[in-house]
Structure 1
Amino acid sequence: MDVGPPALCTSFPAMESYLIHVNGKTSPPSILDVHVSLNGGKGPSLGKGKNRKAHWAVRASEMSKRTFNPIRAIVDSMKVEPNHQKPLISLSIGDPTVFGNLPPDDEVIQAMKEALDSGQYNGYAPSVGKSWEMLSMYAAPILLLLQKSNMPTLLGILYTGYLSCREVVAGYYTCPEAPLEAQDVILTSGCSQAIELALAVLANPGQNILVPRPGFSLYKTLAQSLGIEVKFYNLLPEKSWEIDLKQMESLVDDKTACLIVNNPSNPCGSVFSKSHLQKILAVASRQCVPILADEIYADMVFEDCKYESLAKLSTNVPILSCGGLAKRWLVPGWRMGWILIHDRREIFGKEIRDGLLRLSQRILGPCTVVQGALSRILRQTSPEFYHNTLSFLKSNADLCYDALSTVCGLQPVRPSGAMYLMVGIQMEHFPEFENDVEFTERLIAEQSVFCLPATCFEYPNFFRVVITVPEEMMVEACRRIQQFCERHYEGAEGSQDLECDK
């Protein structure tokens, strides 16, 4: 069948199962050959087979059984009701939109409205890479062909982001020390999917990854789901949550697939110095371990601190940097994330890039309306918006730290960025509570203040405070926490003075 340039070559024997071969090349071909064979003579045809199952046997997959979210499990197990005489103050969820006091910038909202009103972003986004974009030119005739043969289209799985959007993201983050082009950007459905894709491309079942403790629970959830072992390296509260580098390096073996570095940190609110990041890179370089950099809180640091991206400091360690709009632009529900591929020494090479592309094709990609707004969001969000957000977060962080520093039995660690603060519990002074989970349960029951126990982050005897709540709510929460601790605090056994020295 000759349909004229571009030519479409097909063959349709009258059988039931389909196999499509698309012959693509690194540069767009002038002719796109699509060969469709039906069953291809392989395997039995549908009908009455000898291997018919005798009874129903539907079971959950092993992957689903391995999937476990520690935060969900711990929170769901907390069988406690808030004190109904006091309104609940939730300091538990890292969603800056909950209380309405941190709205997005007007430019961000207007960009979304214009993208939606334009009517240009209601369909699937064009695909990644020049060869895929050439393929999209032939989508209509191929789709028509497949529809005529009652075959579901496979084209949708190729779509993973507008080229113009990837160019915008690359332009926003590129710098002389870590240059980026559109081909170095994969757009994802939020930063969580970016982390999932990065893990999936770097590690196989049976390998291991190095994860911070305390750290974001999603790393463990995703790794175990994929059959990947998790090894925890320690962060040190007495050193503002710097990494215990010797202990981290001791965990590396021949099955270590990658090192996850979260900076700025959830749950700690810590920000690594340039010198500390260079030491982390030195370990990765010595051990030949690539880095997955979770940088969703990039640039969200307080005025007395400076943010440095890992890629900017790396000379040879390949890095997959995961980020997105959720936190800095205060729109976590819009689900726009990205992976930045930093590989100046070609250590990842074509294999990792192709792997990321294939993995990204499992779903239809991030929201196209947000993609339509992305250029204006990144280029026109006002500097004042960023400044005001960080000023508010620092003010709340200082307020919370100063208030809880005076409370007997508590040891807060001052944050330098992100949206969180970690508070140590001197459990020996609260003997009626077995652990941080019981402590936070009773805090809810008596004072209606909900903080996540740090057992959720693999770090018992701490709890995490989210600092995005309105100031008056933060003041009230700290007052209630102080009342709670004063009620339950006990001095050291055998001590004549049962009062603390704070």
Structure 2
Amino acid sequence: MFANRTNWNLKQNEIADRLQALKALGTPVFDLSESNPTECRFEYLNETILDPLNMVANLKYAPDPKGMLGTRKIVEDYYRQNGIFVDSSQIFLTSSSSEAYSFLFRLLANPGDNILVPRPSYPLFHFLADLNDVELKTYPLIYDHDWHIGTEHLISSCNEKTKAIILVNPNNPTGSFLKAKELEKIVEFAESSLIALISDEVFFDYPFNANCERVSLAKIKTTPTFTLNGISKAFGLPQMKLGWIVANGPRSFLNMASERLEMILDTYLPVSTPVQNCMKTWVAQREIIQKEILARTNKNRLFLHSLLSKPHPASLLNSEGGWYAILKVPKIKTENEWVLTFLEEDHVYVHPGFFFDFEAEAYIVVSLLPIPEVFEEGMKRILKRISETAKH
């Protein structure tokens, strides 16, 4: 009786089973997969975040499909501070990036059309594609001391049914920012092929080095582009549920896309009034919030570098930003076996590389958000385990 698009394998995997069993026994687990900032003891998460919720304006409902103009003006100003000039009419508010993806898939693709996504990247893409009846195709991110997009493979993977190319900038979990030369080549191809570009820039404000090369698609006007961001990452407030789409491109396209996208949003009216009213207060705290999160991710990453400064069977892959780190581990075990070993023997939980659709083994992915005491003890345990296992 259910739609074929929901015919997923819903059986819990072995790793999740083991983690659940340990928690049921009351066994403390060092969770190095934790990427929810509200679970990581940040000081910015205090009652001042809640203050603007207590305002009379939140009792009034005056829906605007694109979102309140005042809130969109705040997003407009966010880009202006980064030297990117977009108009509030180009901004569409959503409750999340996932919802934004769904709206854009509905806008751009018919059932059976395809959309390109990077590999490795979010596991979420597969579910979003299924729910919107589109085919997912991948293009590689190639690691050679640094990450770069396999642009030739990307171009050759497109066909007449390709409606959009998704760029995750910086990518998650590789932490690699889109480079100007890559963007130039991709924009040129997209423009000539009438393919839209969707840029997910939720981690854009989190470079490990403020001077690293970063380019946003929000400023591209020569070809259809949609840039996604939101307060989940930019303000460290995933519980407040507010994201946005910045549409750009040639004027004729922009007019038609805006009309259709506005109708889609008018059908759902996804964003609550209180969260939009709160933006004026929260945006004033954005710099403080990002500074605290960046201090945490940099501290944990530097600690990881220090642990691996001497020869070790594991190695840390280079990255430029975001909230994750990737370790290459010996192939003497599969990723699944490594993760289970860390759980069962060391009570440390990490993501296997296959969770992010890595093409080859063996990699593990750790979050840089946990408090230093948790991160440091967890990393010491798994690196010791790797070293001891590799000796035998």
TM over 0.5: yes
CA distance in 2, matches of 1:405, 1:211: 34
Aligned to 2:294: 390
Q: CA deviation at 1:414?
A: 2.5
Q: CA deviation at 1:334?
A: 0.8
Q: CA deviation at 1:453?
A: 0.7
Mapped contact 1:188–1:339 kept (Cα < 8 A): yes
CA distance in 2, matches of 1:353, 1:222: 22
User: 3-state SS of the aligned residue for 2:28?
Assistant: coil
Q: In structure 2, do the counterparts of structure 1 residues 204 and 119 end up closer, same or farther at CA, with 3 Å as the change threshold?
A: same
Any unmatched runs of 5+ in structure 1?
A: 1-58, 129-159, 491-497
Equivalent in 370, 379, 383 of residue 482 of structure 1? 383
Aligned to 1:104: 44
Equivalent in 322, 343, 354 of residue 455 of structure 1? 354
Equivalent in 307, 323, 326 of residue 214 of structure 2? 307
Aligned to 1:39: none
CA distance in 1, matches of 2:79, 2:147: 26
Equivalent in 352, 362, 367 of residue 257 of structure 2? 352
Aligned to 2:2: 60
Q: In structure 2, do the counterparts of structure 1 residues 215 and 382 end up closer, same or farther at CA, with 3 Å as the change threshold?
A: closer
Mapped contact 2:164–2:198 kept (Cα < 8 A): yes
CA distance in 2, matches of 1:103, 1:193: 29
Aligned to 2:85: 179
What is the 5 A alignment of 1:144-223? 161-174=67-80, 178-223=84-129
CA distance in 1, matches of 2:328, 2:185: 27
CA distance in 2, matches of 1:77, 1:225: 26
Q: CA deviation at 1:445?
A: 0.8
Aligned to 1:113: 51
Alpha-carbon displacement from aligned partner over 1:328-358 (angstroms, at most 9, x marks no partner): 2111111111111112x13534332222222
Aligned to 1:318: 224
Q: CA deviation at 1:315?
A: 4.5
CA distance in 2, matches of 1:64, 1:453: 24
Q: CA deviation at 1:438?
A: 2.0
Q: CA deviation at 1:213?
A: 0.5
CA distance in 2, matches of 1:254, 1:271: 28
Equivalent in 317, 320, 323 of residue 413 of structure 1? 317
CA distance in 2, matches of 1:392, 1:99: 10
Matched, 1:399 2:311: no
Q: Let me know the Cα RMSD of the aligned residues.
A: 2.7
Mapped contact 2:296–2:371 kept (Cα < 8 A): no
Identify the range of structure 1 (324-333 vs 194-203) with the bigger mean alpha-carbon deviation: 194-203
CA distance in 2, matches of 1:64, 1:308: 37
Mapped contact 2:314–2:383 kept (Cα < 8 A): no
Between the two proteins, the alignment pairs up a number of residues equal to 388
Aligned partner of 2:55: which letter?
A: S
Alignment TM-score, normalising by the size of structure 1: 0.71
CA distance in 1, matches of 2:71, 2:303: 39
Mapped contact 2:179–2:213 kept (Cα < 8 A): yes
Alpha-carbon displacement from aligned partner over 1:134-155 (angstroms, at most 9, x marks no partner): xxxxxxxxxxxxxxxxxxxxxx
Mapped contact 1:91–1:466 kept (Cα < 8 A): yes
Matched, 1:337 2:243: yes
Select the structure that is richer in helix.
2
Aligned to 1:156: none
Identify which of structures 1 and 2 has the higher relative contact order when contacts are C-alpha pairs closer than 8 Å and 6+ apart: 2
Alignment TM-score, normalising by the size of structure 2: 0.89
CA distance in 1, matches of 2:374, 2:132: 40
Aligned partner of 1:484: which letter?
A: R
Matched, 1:328 2:234: yes
User: 3-state SS of the aligned residue for 2:57?
Assistant: coil
Alpha-carbon displacement from aligned partner over 1:187-216 (angstroms, at most 9, x marks no partner): 111222112212221111111111010001
Aligned partner of 2:262: which letter?
A: L
Equivalent in 196, 208, 225 of residue 290 of structure 1? 196
Mapped contact 2:147–2:319 kept (Cα < 8 A): no
Q: Which has the larger radius of gyration?
A: 1
Q: Which runs of 4+ in 1 moved over 6 A?
A: 83-86
User: 3-state SS of the aligned residue for 2:58?
Assistant: coil
Matched, 1:381 2:319: no
